[in-house]
Amino acid sequence: MYIIIFIGNGIILHIIRIDPVLHQPMYFLLAMLALVELGVCASTVPTVLGIFLFGIHGISFGGCLLQMFSMHSFTLMESGVLLAMSVDRFVAIYSPLRYTTILTIPRIAGMGATIALRSVMLMLPLLFLLKGLPFCGHNTLTHSYCLHSDLIKLPCADTHPNSILGLFVVISTFGLDSLLIVVSYMLILHTVLGIASGAGRWRALNTCVSHICAVLVYYVPMISLSLFHRFGRHLPPLLQTIMANAYLFFPPMVNPIVYSIKTKEIRNSIVRTLSRKRNEV
């Protein structure tokens, strides 16, 4: 899975970088998505591969906090990028003639910087709250990486402030982002229904298919894992572990494949690059 994730997202980033045809807002946002997905997976590499390849079952407290901070920060960024991509699709369908004048490169860069800053600023208080708590006895994590929801079960002190702040972070990011994505698609659907020809409506909706798939593969495992944590305490630990790994690894593994298959420009660019390399050889 790691090999597929790093190669797939690496190819997407490389193709967008070298092909001038792909230097458009939609593909710059796709590059952001690939970058944050690589960040999420890279954050888990030390513990996941340490456990499965070398049998290393321990991690320092500082290392655990760093992993939690980086992994959750990139996950929050992923949610923000998916929201930005839904805005991109709305602008492209609602006002196609003004698309490149509305979503300029500086605005795309500003969106990326805002998403990154929001994620880091929301995660920093959680980091400092955990750092100030006492941890007693033998501490065992449920998963092969450090999740905030897992860590706050371990301290021998009151963790209500951590739980309340964590809930606020979830609502103000995943909750708000998912709500705004739904609103944007309601506006997209309203705009598409106003298009006179059936072929035009289909073309407009077809440009959103890849993004809809990305949203589903991101939010469905996340919601499933949250439900498992809330109501599935009696379920086998193996099932919880599988769900937790699916939540982290499924989206970055599937998205490059979906975008390569469903997005004609990406597919054509990959074919052109491979043909060029073959001719050079």
Domain boundaries, the chain: 1-133+141-280
Phi-psi region of 45 (alpha: psi -120 to 50; beta: other; left: phi over 0): alpha
- Please measure the distance between the N-terminal and C-terminal CA atoms of the chain and give it in whole angstroms: 30
Q: In Å, what is the CA distance from 220 to each residue of 71, 115, 136, 253? A: 18, 22, 35, 15
CATH H superfamily, domain 1-133+141-280: Rhodopsin 7-helix transmembrane proteins (1.20.1070.10)
Distance from the Cα of residue 40 to its chain's centroid: 8
Question: Alpha-carbon distance 120 to 76, whole Å?
Answer: 9
Concatenating the DSSP letter of every residue in 97-145 gives GGHHHHS-HHHHHHHHHHHHHHHHHHHHHHHHHHHTS-B-S----SSSS
pLDDT of 4 reads: 92
Output the pTM of the full model: 0.91
Which spans in the chain are helix H?
A: 2-18, 25-54, 61-94, 99-102, 105-131, 148-151, 160-170, 176-193, 198-206, 209-231, 237-262, 264-280
For 207-242, write each residue's pLDDT tens digit: 888 888 889 988 888 877 777 766 666 777 777 777
The DSSP symbol for 155 reads B
Count CA atoms closer than 13 A to 1's CA, side-chain side. Answer: 18
pLDDT (0 to 100) of residue 238? 77
On the question of pLDDT at 205 being above 90, the answer is no
Share of the chain above pLDDT 90, in %: 36
32 falls in which pLDDT band (50, 70, 90)? very high
Q: Render pLDDT for 53-109 as a digit per residue (tens, 0 to 9).
A: 888 888 888 889 999 999 999 999 999 999 999 999 999 988 888 888 999 999 999
d(CA 193, CA 227): 35
- Tell whether the model's pLDDT for residue 194 goes beyond 90: no
d(CA 174, CA 111): 17
Please say whether the beta carbons of 156 and 135 come within 8 A: yes
CA distances from 238 to 71, 109, 144, 228, 247 (A): 22, 41, 12, 12, 14
Q: What pLDDT shows up at residue 97?
A: 86
pLDDT (0 to 100) of residue 232: 63
Residue 8, pLDDT score: 92
- HSE of 164, CA atoms in CB hemisphere, 13 A: 5
237-247 pLDDT, tens digit each: 777 777 778 88
Size of the chain in residues:
281
Distance CA(50)–CA(56), nearest Å, equals 5
Nearest to 14 by CA among 280, 264, 256: 256
Predicted confidence band at 196 (pLDDT cuts at 50, 70, 90)? low
Measure the CA angle with vertex 119, ends 113 and 124; round to 5°.
Answer: 125
